[in-house]
Each structure stands twice: as structure tokens, then as C-alpha cells.
Amino acid sequence: MPQNIQDDDVVMSLVEVALTYPPHERETCLMAACNGNTQLMTQVMDCVAWEERMRGFLLNPVLAPQPDKRPFAPGELLDNRFRILREVAEGGMGVVYEAADDKLQRLIALKVAKSGYRSRLSPEVRNATAISHPNVCRIFEIHTTTTKSGEIDFVTMEFLDGETLSAKLARGPIPEPEARNIALQLCAGLAEAHRNGVIHGDLKPNNVILTTQPGGSVRAVITDFGLARRPEAVVGAPLQNSQQGGTPGYMAPELLEQHQKVTVASDIYAMGVLLSKLGCRRVPKDGGENAVVYPRWQPIIQRCLELEPERRFHKVEQIAEAVSPRKRQWLLATAVSGILAIASGAVTYRTATWPEQTVHLALLPFEADQQTAPLAGVMYTGAADRLARIRGNAKTDIRFVAARAATTEKARSSLGATHVLRGTVRQEGERVVVHAYLTDARSQVNVKDWKSAYAPSEMRYVPTALAGMVTGALRLPAVPATILPGAIADYREGLHLLRRNSGVDAALPLLSRAVAIDPDSALTHAALAEGQWWKYRNTGDRVWLHRTVQSVREAERRNPDQAEVHRIAGLLQYDAGRYEQAVSHYLRSIEVDPKSGDAYRRLAMAHNANSQEAPALTAFRQAVAIEPDNYRNQQAIGEFYRERADYGEALKYFEKAVQLVPGEPRV
């Protein structure tokens, strides 16, 4: 009785894997890959025997395509922008090139599916563009180019100069501290992908790149989020997600036996296999027994490899917690901090919820010379007070301790810190330059770095600015901003006038006066920057653009993580053609203030300028839904449709804009 197409794909995938092993090792390999499914194993072994007799007939049938030709060649220029330099890697379904982005003047990796596989990228890749994490290979953009064979999608990604985890494992066992460091980084990256709704589906050592950081630490980066799908045996045949790249031996039993779609649970199973290789370089058999070198890892791997998905870890963060060093030192430190907080009356009560991740943030003393040491000490005390007030949210719980540890590694080993805030304080002329780093203590990767210069009298701004740096990087609730009562009336009236182009000239004096009354507020500087930006837009005079840049800088020096600051900072990035950075600002602005139609409209404009039509339209519609009476929202979505020659839709929105502000120029 013939098998269905899905069974054929699984069987032939296993046949391909088995044939890469010597004959005497094939049965052992397949026992692990088939997870005790004797019927499947028998089918595969029969096909292997026929394949050897027929000398490649099954894997290379009569109607198979001609040998694959490379999609691109060194020296080729794609879209008048991407110059192919060399081929750097090849997988079963895709090719990776090193390329030069002539527009942004940077080296990138460019990945494309081979011919014979789907030329259009899978949804996993498109979803993965939303992931921004040091342990996930950053996908910049998705492009489509026309070749002789038709249209082909390709992705531009972060170029990683390193080796695969598979190559490192091939050289011998990895010491436990180093293996744990790699495991924690991989957990951090995979957890971030899951938080963004992205399932990897093919986690294995070949899809992990190890790079060396400037300080000598290792950064582990997960790559290949569903770049290419398996070839379809029949045009139009149904294709399960579990067949979009999974590798036998790493695929959970429900994928091999029940043909279910990939899930968080199947990724956790693959992580268990990968952890076993970090321990002993051997694919686990029978659920993981005899596959663990480090005793503390054995129950972790066994739980990852449970045959029933519901019995595995439910979240990758739970794996990281289990792998991490014990947290007794951290609990002691936070208990002391809690006693001090009670003594000062600064107690924050948390709701009894279970967050997706817990951040243990340690503030290290900033490096300073003899001249700046007093300023650094005062700054440290103020920063500790501000950081202790940061609240967590449903996704992230945060626990803070002011540490006296000298290094990131000591903060991690003695306190169990997952992140540290550290930096330097230097005198440069009449200014004091503060350079801060938020570092992931597990991977030694700087999640965020921030630098600003202050007059000595302005150092009072630094603690709040550092807190804003942390909340922005970790996507936590922003530190509340305030405005002095005497500045509120001018501030509000100025912003109201800015809602129309004709009100810009009247708004500027009011917003300037608000800054004069309250120069310490990031909000007054951000509002003045808005007015200066609209003056630049109305006149084209670049003097106003320079003033906008200066006002944004002043706002960011006080608190970089305010929704209003992100909205105007995003406009500057948009104007400079840095659309991805603009999108990042707008997304954070929306996280902090989800009721801003301006933020959604500007997000849509950045997506549109970056050729991301679908997310642009979604954001335009959201802007109109939130603020239907804002004529700029109506005008912007109308322009979107006009650019695409959909004049009927465009006219509908243009008419609405005119109805809202009938006497407004430039509408």
C-alpha cells in the first residue's frame, strides 16, 4: 500500500541521513532518529538497501532536475545595491554569500534558496525579521530579485565571522563552564524568538555560529529560521511545517510519527538533543539515557527529551534556569537590598504572577580617574536609586542589586547576575563623558551601549538617563517623566498647535518657553524638537533640521526612553534613510504609549519607505483607527494608495482629510 506524500518525505529524509554513515553505524543512527518506531525504521532500511542496489535511483530519479546551479556568482550586483563577494556556506537547501551593501557601506551575509526549492521565502523568515537579540542572527531585510529562472527571494543578514558549533564539537569535548555559557546564550536567543511568535524548527549545531568578541569572549548565535522548505513531491501537495527543514535525530517524535507542526515543545526537544551534544558529542538514544557527561545536566536533558510534549519544559527560560549556576548568592544580595528598601520606605509590591523571564541586574561601579571619582560616586548612588524603582511587566521580572563586584564575570559568579550595568566616567575638556554598557553576563555581549557628555552641573541627569537606557533595552515600563507646573500650559498649547501645519509658527515660542521654564524635562525638549521638525518640513531650511537634532540630543541626555523622545528620534532616522532604526524607535514608542496615532503613522511611513508594504498598510490602518480625526493620518494612508494607483481608495482618505481641516494649506 503506497505511503502518503508526507510519509515519503520523512522516509527519504532518513534515507539521505543513513547513507552518510558507514554501513555498520546506520542501524544505530536510525534507532535514535526513529525514536523506537520500528515500522518506520524497517521502511527506511528497506529503502537504503534498494538505494545501494539501484545506485542512486531513489534519491536521483529519472525526472529529477539537472545538477543545481548557484543562484548568484561572485561579482554579481543585485538590485544595484548588493555586490556578491564570495560563497561562504552551503546547506542542503540554501547558499550563503558574503556580500557588500553598497548603499549602507557594510558587509552582510546574503542567503538564498537553491533552485529546486521554493524561491519564495517561508513565513518563518518574515516573522524572524522582528527578532532583535544578540544570540539570534539579525535579519535585516527581505528582497526579491529577477533572474533568468524567475523571481527569487533572498535575505540580507548580519555577517558572522566564526565557526559552527558542529565544527567546534568535532574537535573534542567542551569544558562544562564553556558549554554552560554557550547553552545559556542559545536559550536566551531561542526564548526571544518564541516571545516573538517564531519557531525555529531546525535547531542543531550546524545552525549555531560561534564568534569571538573583541574582549575574547564567545558569542553563540542561532541562524536559519526557516529559510527554505523541502522540495514538494507533487505540485500543490500539502506541506506540514514540520517538514520545512527539520533534521532527523533532532526532530521530536510527534513530528516524525504524527506529522504535527513544529511547536515550542518540538524546539525544546531539539534543544535537549543539542545540550546532549554539548555534553558528550553523541545523539541521545531512548530519551537521553547514557548521553550526558555532566551529572547536573542529565535530568535537564531527560526532561527536554520526554516523548510526550506536555511533559517537557514549557518554556526555554525554564531550561536556562535549570542550567544556570545556583542563585543562593543572588537571593542573599537581594534580601539585603530588600531590608534596606524597607528601612527607607521604598518598597514595591509585586503581583503574584509568573513572568516569562527574570532579569537579575547588577550595577557595577563606573571606572573613573582621580578627577572624576567624586562625580562617579554621586552618580552611582543616584543610579542605584533610579534602577531600584524600575518595574517589571508580564514578560519580564526584574530584580536589582547595587554590587561592588569589579567585573561582569564576578557579578555573575558571586551574585548570579544575568545582566550588569557598567561604564566609564571621563573628563574631556569642560565636559564629563559618561559611557555606559548594559551587558548580558551570560554571553558577555553588550546588549546596549550609550554615551553622552555633560557639564558637571548636569550630572544630575545621568541616573534617569541610565534607567531609561535599561528600560528601553529590556523593553520594561519606562521611567515616568514629569514637567514643572509652570511649563505645562505652554507645553500643552504648543503641542495642540502642532497638530496643524499652519500652527507651527505659533507653537514654537510656546515650546521654547516651556524649555526655559523646565530645562530638566526630556518632554519639553522633545516637544520643541517636534516644532522644529515641522518648521523644517514646511520651509526646507536645514537650519531647523540642525536645531531638531540638538533638541533631540538634549531630550535623550535626560531620558532616552520616553515615547515622545522615540517618536521624534525616529523621524530623524527616517529622514536620514535609516529605516530600520526608525522602525525600532517607533515600535518602542508604541510599547510605551500604544494610543499614539502619530507613532503608528510614522511607523507605517518607515515600513513603506523600506518596501515593507504589508506592515506599512497595517500600521496606517491602526493610526487611522486610533486617531480618525487626525488629518495627517488620513492624508498619509491616502498617499499610500495613490502611490499604488489605487485612486478610489486614495480619494476616500484625501476627502476625509479635507473635511477635517478645510482651510489647512498643503492638504
131-164 pLDDT, tens digit per residue, is 878 899 888 888 888 877 777 888 888 898 889 9
The 3-state DSSP class for residue 649 equals helix
Dihedral in degrees, nearest 10, Cα atoms 383, 386, 391, 392: -10
CATH of the domain at 461: 3.40.50.10070
Among residues 226, 180, 182, the alpha carbon closest in space to that of 203 is found at: 226
Is residue 307 domain-resident?
Answer: yes
% of the chain residues with pLDDT over 70 = 78
Q: What is the pLDDT of residues 470-501, one digit of tens each?
A: 999 999 999 888 899 999 999 999 999 999 99
Which residues make beta-bridge pairs with 362?
401, 420
pLDDT, position 170: 84
Residue 490: which H helix or E strand, with range?
helix 485-497
CA distance 417 to 85: 41
Asked if residue 68 is part of any domain, the answer here is: no
Q: What is the mean pLDDT of residues 2-9?
A: 42
269 pLDDT above the threshold of 90? yes
pLDDT at 322 over 80: yes
Which bin fits 36, alpha (ψ -120 to 50), beta or left (φ > 0)? left
Categorize the per-residue pLDDT at 451 as very low, low, confident or very high, splitting at 50, 70 and 90: very high
- In this predicted structure, the answer to whether residue 5 has a pLDDT above a threshold of 60 is no
Nearest Cα neighbor of 17 from 112, 114, 113, 92 is: 92
Instruction: Classify the C-alpha dihedral 642-646-649-655 as positive or negative.
Output: positive
| Mean pLDDT across the chain | 81
pLDDT of residue 17: 64
Residue 358 lies in a domain: yes
pLDDT at position 127 = 61
User: Which among 474, 508, 533 is the end of a domain?
Assistant: 474
Residue type, 585: H
Does position 122 have pLDDT exceeding 90, yes or no?
Answer: no
Residues 517 and 651 in one domain: yes
Residue 64 counted as domain residue: no
What confidence category does residue 265 fall into, taking pLDDT thresholds of 50, 70 and 90?
A: very high
Same domain? 354 vs 254: no
Q: What is the radius of gyration, based on Cα positions, of the chain?
A: 28
| Predicted local distance difference test score (pLDDT) of residue 338 | 46
| pLDDT above 70 for 441 | yes
pLDDT of residue 598: 96
- 479 assigned to some structural domain: no
What pLDDT does residue 8 have?
53
Q: Which comes out higher in pLDDT, residue 123 or 109?
A: 109
Whole-number Å distance between alpha carbons of 546 and 528: 13
Q: How far apart are the first and last CA of the chain?
A: 69
Long-range contacts from 30-36, C-beta under 8 angstroms, 24+ separation: 31/285, 32/249, 32/283, 32/284, 32/285, 33/248, 33/249, 33/251, 33/256, 33/283, 34/256, 35/253, 35/256, 35/257, 35/307, 36/286
* Whether 219 and 243 share a structural domain: yes
CATH number of the domain where residue 587 is located: 1.25.40.10
Q: Tell me the residue range of the domain where 413 lies.
A: 328-474
What DSSP designation does 630 have?
A: -
Q: Which of 446, 474, 502 is the last residue of a domain?
A: 474
Residue type at 595?
Answer: K
What does the block give as the cell for 410? 564576578
Q: How far apart are CA 293 and CA 300, in angstroms?
A: 12
- Residues 178 and 308 both lie in one domain: yes
Confidence class for position 398, pLDDT limits 50, 70, 90:
confident
Among 25-29, 399-403, 534-538, name the most confident range.
534-538
d(CA 363, CA 74) in angstroms, rounded, equals 48
Same domain? 505 vs 403: no
Residue 390, in any domain of the structure: yes
Residue 62 lies in a domain: no
Q: How many domains does the chain have?
A: 4
Q: How far is CA 560 from CA 411, 526, 609, in A?
A: 26, 10, 25
Instruction: Tell me the CATH number at 292.
Output: 1.10.510.10
Instruction: Report residue 401: phi and psi, to 5°.
Output: -145, 135
To which H or E segment does residue 436 belong?
Answer: strand 431-440
385, HSE (Cβ side, Cα atoms, 13 Å): 13
Asked if 129 and 273 sit in the same domain, the reply is yes
Predicted local confidence at residue 341, as pLDDT:
43
Phi first, then psi, for residue 628 (nearest 5°) are: -65, -20
For 117-207, strand residue ranges (E) read: 139-147, 150-157, 162-164
If asked whether residues 185 and 122 sit together in one domain, one would say yes
Residues 296, 333 share a domain: no
Model confidence at 359: pLDDT above 80: yes
- 257 lies in a domain? yes
Contact between 633 and 597 (Cβ < 8 Å)? yes
Beta carbons within 10 angstroms of residue 344's beta carbon: 10
Q: Can you tell me the mean pLDDT for 610-632?
A: 93
Average pLDDT over every residue of 344-365: 61
250 with 184, same domain: the answer is yes
Identify the DSSP state of 136: B
Confidence (pLDDT) at 331 = 42
- Average pLDDT of span 338-358: 45
Distance CA 179, CA 203 (A): 16
The least confident of 195-204, 249-258, 510-519, 632-641 is 249-258
Tens digits of residue pLDDT in 404-430: 777 888 888 778 888 999 999 999 999
The answer to whether residues 462 and 534 belong to one domain is: no
Looking at the structure, do residues 387 and 524 belong to the same domain, yes or no?
A: no
Note the pLDDT of residue 1.
Answer: 33
- What's the mean pLDDT in 253-268? 80
Tell me, yes or no, whether 497 and 449 share the same domain.
no
Task: Give the domain-ending residue among 273, 303, 323.
Answer: 323
List, in sequence order, every beta strand (DSSP E) within 30-138: 77-78, 82-90, 94-101, 106-113
